[in-house]
Amino acid sequence: MKRTHVTVLGKRALAVALGVVCAVGLAACGSGSGSGAAATTAASGGGQTAAAPAPGGGDDKTIEFWHIATEGGHKVKVEAAIEKFNSTTQSGYKVVGVPIQNDTYKEKLVIAMSSGECPDAYVSWSGGPMNEYINSGFARELDALFDATPNKDKYLEGALAQGRLDGKLYGIPYHNTSISGVFYNTEIFAKYGLEEPKTLEDLEKICDTLLENDIIPFALANGSKWTGSMYFMSLAARKGGLEPFQKAVAGEGTFEDAAFIYAGEKIQEWVKKGYFPEGVNSLSEDDGQAKQLMYQEAAGMLLCGSWYTGTFSDDSKEFYAKVNWFSFPEITGSGADPKIQIGTVGDQFISMNCDGDKLKAAVEFATIFSDDDMIQVGIDNGTVPPFKGVVDQLTDPCTVKIMQAAADAPEIQLWYDQYLPPAVATAHLDGSQEIFGLTKTPEQAAKMMQDAMAKYNSESK
């Protein structure tokens, strides 16, 4: 009796032990898959990834192009460009597009790269992640080939600048121009006699008026973290310009600079006054919980990227007709140039991982987006492609205003969370969410970010 009991227990122990192994094995898979990949890459020869074999081996006249244009106008545009290239090119190559959901795109790309299956051409948002791809040998320097293309002079310099690393071009901009700014409901503003603010004090007065009338000043869904970062970036840029940020990144300054502390303190002041929706840190941008507040007219303003013009007009033309936009107002006496903008000129850049004729054909494909008919497709679908003269073709008043601000900007800083090295970007996003949650002081959040930056700078030296 006793003995059988022990055996049963023994078996159960074994079963549970196996269960544990499976469980952790699965957890380990995420990183495990990457590693198996490393072995493949190493085996496929010579450290350098230069000649990563085409996936599946087969037809090497095919350029595999990964992108995230899975819906709406973006999809129309990318499909039109692929269609046009395939029917007109003399290169003998054909582009095959692989649309991938935005949410998992970066992870899929990392896994593909580490398993030697990196696509021939792929989109990224430039900045930190693109630099990782470049430094790991998955992006080619494109200057010579790009300069040989007929459309090279149509590109905005600011757009090309964001596709460069150390002065060399690795990503060709193709999609959109987005800067951060404030959208507002003109009917609500008219009802309470409000006007677009010139200074931060004006903006705060508007917020107070809205609050008195039970309207949430700012629609914000900060569960997604980067949405709240927009406020932080705007406040810091208006307080100190871009110099504190650039110095902090270079290791000459610090994220504990007064401009960043000010941004954090201002946000906390606004949180305490009730300028943001209740439970702001649990609302999700991906689920549209910020724009819903705008549609319900429960909120009066929304600070976000200017791609929201497309979002609003896609969702409801009627609502979009009520919307107007202003650039984040200046802070009186700060001395910072209020024309500086935060955002992206290009919003997605095409990088290449192929060589020789194929690379040439891929560049030909990437620049097809600058053909006049492709630009028109983009404009018709509510985007502002990053090319010269596009502003003149715009008719939508809101977009015209935004693009004028972008054109007037002496400098456009790429979003912090895109620009910074990934680990620092995470520290920034986590820290700014805690600022909104009042769980960290601006000083603590700044220190967290500075520590991550210092660690990165010391490791990369």
Q: Which is nearer to other proteins, 49 or 151 (CB)?
A: 49
Q: How far apart are CA 351 and CA 149, in angstroms?
A: 16
Nearer to other proteins, 138 or 262 (CB): 138
Residue 184: CB minimum distance to other proteins, A: 19
Alpha helices, H only, 303-436: 308-315, 317-320, 356-367, 372-380, 390-393, 397-408, 416-419, 422-436
Q: Smaller CB distance to other proteins: residue 45 or 389?
A: 45
Q: What is the DSSP string of 93-107?
A: -EEEEEE--HHHHHH
Nearer to other proteins, 298 or 321 (CB): 298
Could you tell me where the DSSP H helices lie in 148-301?
A: 157-162, 186-191, 200-212, 226-240, 243-250, 258-273, 289-295
Minimum CB–partner distance for residue 226 and other proteins (Å):
11
Quote the least distance from Cβ 278 to other proteins, whole Å. Answer: 5
Nearer to other proteins, 177 or 222 (CB): 222
- Number of C-beta neighbours around residue 316 at 10 A: 12
Question: Closest separation between CB of residue 17 and other proteins, Å?
Answer: 7
Kindly state the smallest distance separating residue 279's Cβ from other proteins, in Å: 3
Q: Smallest gap, in angstroms, from Cβ of residue 96 to other proteins?
A: 22
Helix (H, G, I), strand (E, B) or coil at 164: strand
Question: Between 9 and 190, whose beta carbon lies closer to other proteins?
Answer: 9
Query: How many of the other CB atoms lie within 10 Å of CB of 208?
Result: 14
Two structure tokens written together for 120 = 């021939």
Nearer to other proteins, 39 or 148 (CB): 39
Instruction: In whole angstroms, give the CA distance from residue 461 to residue 457.
Output: 6
List the one residue out of 337, 366, 212 whose CA is nearest residue 275: 212
Closest separation in Å from C-beta 76 to other proteins: 28
What's the closest the beta carbon of residue 215 comes to other proteins, in angstroms? Answer: 14
Token pair, residue 321, equals 């007709």
Residues 379 and 175 sit within 8 Å (Cβ to Cβ) = no
Q: Which of 73, 328, 103 is nearest to 176 (CA)?
A: 73
Q: Report the residue number, 72 or 137, with the smaller CB distance to other proteins.
A: 137
Q: CB-wise, 56 or 274, nearer to other proteins?
A: 274
Q: How many CB atoms lie within 10 A of CB 94?
A: 16
What is the nearest approach in angstroms of other proteins to the Cβ of residue 355?
Answer: 16
* Residue 146 vs residues 170, 261, 308, 365, 458: alpha-carbon distances, Å: 10, 42, 31, 11, 34
Alpha carbon dihedral 343, 346, 352, 357, in 10-degree steps, equals -160
Name which of 41 and 370 has its Cβ closer to other proteins. 41
Residue 14 burial (10 A CB sphere; 0-12, 13-18, 19+) = exposed
| Rounded distance between C-alpha atoms, residue 206 and residue 195, angstroms | 8
Contact residues toward other proteins (CB under 8 A) are 5, 8-9, 12-13, 16-17, 19-36, 38, 41-42, 47-49, 106-107, 110, 113-114, 129, 132-133, 135-138, 223, 225, 277-284, 287, 289, 292-293, 298, 422-423, 426, 430, 433-434, 437, 439-440, 459
